[in-house]
Amino acid sequence: SVSCVSSRRVLLICVAIIVLLEMAHPTDQVSVNVMRKSDGKKLEFILPETTTIRELKNDLKHRLTPQFVPGCRLIFRDEVLKGKHTLKHYGIKVGVDDQDILMDDSREWRSSSSSDSEVEKH
């Protein structure tokens, strides 16, 4: 009876640890490297693939500050990333390699093609 109770406690503890580990490292987390064009400095981000480009840019303002904050562009595989879309929308997702994003902060981008543009023409 004592060993049965001990075994049950060990099992419950193991299940609790597994649940906590899954919560700490959700399976939708992606690794993205952002390189600042002005100086080549890189920073790795671990983010949910549902993160919007706007959210990533807000994080960048604090962790890898661009030379021109309001109008820098984020570029992935030769495409300017739009703020309203998610990482997953651009194919940045779990299990995909080569997920480097270029932060073009070489000038202050101010056009409808900027990744921060709120307006989309239909």
* Per-residue pLDDT at 114: 45
Q: 20 lies in a domain?
A: no
As a whole number, the mean pLDDT across the chain is 78
pLDDT tens for residues 65-91?
887 766 689 999 999 999 999 999 999
* Per-residue pLDDT at 85: 97
For residue 3, what are its two tokens?
A: 């060993």
The domain that holds 47 is classified in CATH as: 3.10.20.90
d(CA 112, CA 91): 22
Structural domain harbouring 77: 29-109
Average pLDDT over residues 18-27: 62
First to last CA, the chain: 70
Domain count, the chain: 1
d(CA 79, CA 73): 10
Q: 75 lies in a domain?
A: yes
